[in-house]
Structure formats: C-alpha cells, structure tokens
Structure 1
Amino acid sequence: MQILLDANLSYRLVKKLADIFSDCLHVTRTGLPIPAEDIAIWQWARMNNQIIITNDDYYNLANTYGFPPKVVLLRMGNQSSASVFETLQKHIDDLQKLNESDEYGMLELF
C-alpha cells in the first residue's frame, strides 16, 4: 500500500509509519510546489498510485473525478502526530480494505 501524507500532517509521521506502511511519502517530497494545491496533490497521487491521508476535505475532488486516488479523511480536528499515528495504526485493517476495494474510494476516520 502506497501512502501520501498531505501537507496538513507532519512529515515526521513518515518515519513513525515506516513499520506499518513501508511505502509512505510526505507531499513535500513529491516535487510539487510548496504549498501544493489540492488538485495537484490529487493528480500526483493518481499518477503514482498513492492513497492520500489528509485532514482536508477532498469530497469535491472525489465527486468530480472519482477514484483513484483513494482518500483517507481524518476527522479528528487538530491532533498531535502521536494521535494521528495511533488512529492509523488502530485502523490498519480498514485501510487495507480500502486499498483492496474496487467499490470504495474514501475512508473517514474519527
């Protein structure tokens, strides 16, 4: 599973998530402009087969363009990196199901 962390998440999560997601990348390492627009992140993730993990609302892009890419929306408000890590770790099975699904393109975690 290839994961792309959006700019609103700490780049430090890449190292923390390495044991769970061996292919994890922060948007600042994609070569996109900083800050990158959501549509540019969406297109980059689509071309590179990445699942976007974000706090941003990507519903409009999902409704307009469909998937891929698939998106994990973190509906937790502003949380520490440790809290985000724990949430992703707790939902690893859900993330795997999203990755394998041909029917679903978005997962919301609270």
Structure 2
Amino acid sequence: MDTSKTKGPGQNKRFWTEEEDNKLIESLLKLNNNGRFKSEGSFKPGHLKELEKKLHEKLPRCDLLAKPHIESRMKTLKTHFHIVHDMLTGLNCSGFGWDTEKKTVTAEKPV
C-alpha cells in the first residue's frame, strides 16, 4: 500500500506563514465586523468559503482551502487563544503578565 497518499490526522500538514496568519485574522475581523456571517459568538455557515475567497484575493498565489486548511487553522488559533487567555485571567494566573510591546506572555522566574 502506498502510504504517501493516505490521509488522516498528522498527514498532509500545511505550515502557515506569518503573512497568511495575519491575513486570516484580518479577514476574520472584517467578517465579524461586517455582521453578515456573525451568529451569537460564532460564525454562520459559509464563512469558511468566504474566508477562502478573501485570502485568495489578498494572497493570489496561496493554495489555502476552506476545508481542511482554514478550518484547521482556526481551530488551532482558538486553542492557542484559550491557553493564553487562561494564563492571563484564570484562577492560576499568578506570575503571568502581558508585554504590550512584544505582544508576548511574560512570567516571573519561578513560574
């Protein structure tokens, strides 16, 4: 069996560039502010295709697809957001802070 064509978790990983991440976040903010795809703390169906379209406009040579690329990246970004949010505001956040210049989490030495 040729394993180079199999799909599944961990297969066919795509690494996002910083520019792609920035354009995705920029597009998400515009979708949110536009309100057309906004729905009580989430997005309405069709938002992934709209993001794909916007990313292709901003990054003409990108090969990003709504599924699996954008959907997966949004899931990863959401997970990272919750980790940082919990570090800064959670019950056990003692010792963590935010550096506004570097836009990074800071920690005291013992942490």
Tell me whether the two structures share a fold, i.e. TM-score over 0.5: no
- Higher Cα Rg, which structure: 2
Give the TM-score, by structure 2 length: 0.30
More helix by share: 2
Give the TM-score, by structure 1 length: 0.30
